[in-house]
């Protein structure tokens, strides 16, 4: 009886853990199975080290403290680039990315220019930005970037990001 209980507990844990799986992992897993894909994952400490090295150049940064805080809150970065995407693959990826909205991801920005579309999604938990996801979809190429973070929303807003070129020129 005790063994049966443990077996059921293990099966239930497996089922619930696979149901709660981050949908971004599924997107990466689907894309990595294809040909012409390059994928890279970097731990957060490596990002922080790279940012600290870049900040030694005075022209790189306006607000060193905010950027340092943001870099320190990045846990993991994943990048995937795919060239020569088929229509079926693109349709599948678009469907999975569009599904992020139903998984508590908010659309932060949508940018369309000529042949490329860029969509930025974020997932917040209380006062923290937990995931930041960029999806770049072109005619034959696709790129995705995922930042697993623990960034405070207030610190993220201090970056004063703008996706409008004219706005950036006026600042």
Smallest CA-to-CA distance from 125 within 147, 159, 153 is with 153
pLDDT of residue 133: 92
Give the pair of three-digit tokens for residue 4: 């049966």
Summarize the confidence of residues 141-145 as an average pLDDT.
Answer: 90
Sheet containing 142-152: order of strands: 37-43, 74-82, 142-152, 128-137, 116-125, 106-113
Please tell me whether residue 163 adopts helix, strand or coil conformation.
Answer: coil
Number of domains present in the structure of the chain: 1
Please tell me whether residue 32 adopts helix, strand or coil conformation.
Answer: helix
Within a domain: residue 13? no
Summarize the confidence of residues 92-111 as an average pLDDT.
Answer: 89
Confidence of residue 135 (pLDDT cuts 50, 70, 90): very high
pLDDT of residue 60: 54
Of 86 and 146, more confident: 146
pLDDT value at 170 more than 50 = no
pLDDT of residue 164: 47
Within a domain: residue 128? yes
Within a domain: residue 7? no
Within a domain: residue 2? no
Between strands 37-43 and 106-113, the pairing is unpaired
Confidence of residue 168 (pLDDT cuts 50, 70, 90): very low
pLDDT, one tens digit per residue, over 13-50 is 555 544 456 888 888 888 888 888 888 988 988 888 87
Stated pTM of the model: 0.74
Within a domain: residue 36? yes
Domain that residue 94 falls in: 22-160
Confidence of residue 2 (pLDDT cuts 50, 70, 90): low
Within a domain: residue 14? no
Region at 160 (left for phi over 0; alpha for psi -120 to 50; beta for the rest): left
Within a domain: residue 89? yes
pLDDT of residue 70: 77
Within a domain: residue 142? yes
Give the pair of three-digit tokens for residue 65: 């403290």
pLDDT, one tens digit per residue, over 115-126 is 889 999 999 998
Give the pair of three-digit tokens for residue 140: 């034959």
């Amino acid at each position: 009886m005790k063994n049966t209980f443990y077996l059921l507990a293990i099966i239930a844990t497996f089922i619930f853990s696979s149901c709660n799986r981050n949908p971004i992992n599924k997107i990466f897993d689907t894309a990595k199975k294809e040909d012409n894909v390059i994928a890279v994952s970097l731990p957060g400490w490596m990002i922080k080290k790279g940012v600290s090295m870049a900040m030694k150049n005075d022209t790189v940064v306006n607000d060193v403290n905010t950027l340092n805080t943001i870099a320190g809150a990045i846990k993991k970065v994943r990048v995937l680039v795919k060239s020569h995407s088929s229509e079926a693959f693109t349709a599948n990826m678009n469907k999975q990315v569009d599904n992020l909205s139903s998984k508590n991801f908010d659309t932060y920005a949508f940018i369309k220019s000529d042949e490329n579309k860029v969509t930025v999604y974020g997932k917040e938990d209380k006062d923290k930005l937990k995931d930041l996801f960029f999806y770049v979809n072109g005619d034959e190429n696709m790129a995705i970037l995922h930042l697993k973070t623990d960034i405070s929303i207030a610190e993220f807003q201090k970056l004063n990001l703008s996706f409008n070129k004219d706005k950036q020129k006026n600042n």
